[in-house]
């Protein structure tokens, strides 16, 4: 599913995000959505979320 559309993102969903520090390398971090931080309905770089472990990044893939 597309991580650029906010309506696709649900709290508790398993996702792969790219952390700010990993944007150059593109390394993905897997986790569960705790909070959706982007308010707009879409974002070209991915919806920003906070994972249950506190890490913040933009969704690249919804599992």
DSSP for 16-51 reads EEEEGGGTTTT-EEEEEEEEE---SSB-TT--EEEE
CA distance 36 to 47: 8
CATH topology of domain 6-62: SH3 type barrels. (2.30.30)
pTM of the model: 0.91
**How does pLDDT run across 12-63, given as a tens digit for each residue?**
999 999 999 999 999 999 999 999 999 999 999 999 999 999 999 999 999 9
For residue 1, the model assigns a pLDDT of 80
Give the phi and the psi of residue 22 in degrees, each rounded to 5: -100, 5
For residue 18, the model assigns a pLDDT of 97
For residue 28, the model assigns a pLDDT of 96
């Amino acid at each position: 599913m597309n991580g650029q559309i906010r309506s696709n993102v649900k709290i508790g969903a398993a996702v792969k995000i790219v952390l700010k520090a990993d944007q150059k390398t593109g390394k993905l971090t897997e986790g569960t959505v705790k909070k959706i931080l982007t308010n707009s309905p879409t974002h070209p770089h991915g919806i920003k979320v906070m994972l249950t472990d506190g890490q913040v990044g933009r969704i690249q893939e919804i599992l």
